Structure 1
């Protein structure tokens, strides 16, 4: 099965570094690279259909040439690189790109593109996340190199973890992952014993894949405690899962995006 790193490029000042990260990730995975750019597709309101299509096609052609030109100076010729320029919404396009004969990872920048923020904070957040069954890695734009040493995985027994997806992730980066820590946020609506049991089960299940541990967070300052915990760790990757409380709950999502991802500069992996 062929492997692909799908990087979303917007030609911002951060795009070149995102291409470098895509190259680094592709090297680790022994994968090809697909660079995607979405053009605005803005045309005059009074333009007829033929004129609209012509304007968009010219815009796409110019963007494709720019995409190829920039990537040529960054990504070595030894890597297989393909390009896709589209005017279609990414939330619609991305689910169609994945196929049964490819093993894909989507790579986006935490700043610059604004894509991640739209996916999580927009009015269609749940629909977009639910439609994308591809593991997505969101990285700080100034991140240098791609080395996943520790995974901090947010779990809750009410939203069972996607075991096959996590197992595949661990196997993909088995040469670099040195530690896995499962965490769970306990609210008044949660059963602490059930959460503790689930954390122990996951730790036991994955102990042969990497050194595992777990931690629970509870109390009035739970978000502050998590941020302090993440700040003390050495370049961890936060792992969350679509459909979970961490993604769907508005309070959790705002904390996740604003405090950890944007301000904390913590890379994040979203499992399908």
Structure 2
């Protein structure tokens, strides 16, 4: 059984992310593991016994907070696996998760989201951890994905095995896959169309599949306007692709669509050699 690793912080958004996680467990064959990084308030120069006491206290408080949150939702404590850690988060996730695991991050809102994705925890996770990452904004109304908008480009081939693994898990609720690309050069059109048509042929046997090519000076604006009309579509980006490596594309897809547009995001891992 695949695991959904859920990162929580006991903010006001925790109840929402817990509900979303249990909804995924109900809809898909996944187990849940909730992870909380304790604040680590122990002074740097504190002696080991004192420091360990503070860490133990913070972990016990986290366990109590988690139990209280489950009780509020009417979920028995025994139905959820929880771990409070004092290690650096990306190091822990790198060592304690596998390529089969999915990571779920909750995105709270405008100010926090910008901080989270542009300069903090999620940036580290996306940059340094080769895992499937799911980031859900607080405003999302449909937690279960029914349509995936897959940003792809002929020069940055998709990790088709990772996408296949994702669809093996959530494919029973996905009804449509939209393949989209942004053309920055006119000569890209022929190769891009051929690549997207090839992908479409693979997916169309199981899903409604469409192809969208955007070009011109207002391509970003057109996409942004379109996805604002469909806030429950899941945007899927490829780790290592232009959409995440190029600063212009990263600003648009992360800042404008996910941050401002509140579009739920999935990041596929790159294919390891």
TM-score by length of 1: 0.89
Whole-angstrom distance in 1 between the partners of 2:19 and 2:245: 32
Hey, what does 2:43 align to over in structure 1? 44
Whole-Å Cα distance in 1 between the matches of residues 27 and 231 of structure 2?
Answer: 20
Q: Write out aligned runs for 1:123-134 (5 A).
A: 128-134=125-131
For the 8 Å contact 2:33–2:82, the answer to whether it is kept is: yes
C-alpha separation between the residues in 2 aligned to 1:55 and 1:78?
Answer: 24
How much does 1:113 deviate?
11
Q: Report the Cα distance in structure 1 between the residues aligned to 2:137 and 2:231, rounded to whole angstroms.
A: 15
- 1:3 positional shift: 2.3
Deviation of 1:176 after TM superposition, in Å, equals: 1.4
Match of 1:221 in 2: 218
Deviates more, 1:5-14 or 1:138-147: 138-147
Q: Give the superposed CA RMSD.
A: 2.6
Any gaps of 5 or more consecutive residues in structure 2? none
Give the TM-score normalised by structure 2: 0.88
- Establish whether residue 63 from structure 1 lines up as the match of residue 62 from structure 2: yes
Question: Any idea what the Cα deviations from partners look like across 1:103-156, whole Å, max 9, x if unmatched?
Answer: 422111122698875664238987643542321111121434532111100001
- Among 219, 234, 243, the alignment partner of 1:246 is 243
Distance 1:142 1:71, change over 3 A: farther
What residue is the counterpart of 1:237 in the other structure? 234
Q: Number of aligned pairs?
A: 269
The 3-state SS of whatever aligns with 1:73 is helix
- CA deviation after TM superposition for structure 1 residue 37, in Å: 0.7
String of CA shifts for 1:22-60, please: whole Å, max 9, x gaps: 000111113221111111212224322332222122112
Out of 36-45 and 178-187, give the one that drifted further: 36-45
Specify every segment of 5 or more residues in structure 1 that has no aligned partner in the other structure, as ranges: none
1:133-172 aligned within 5 A: 133-144=130-141, 146-172=143-169
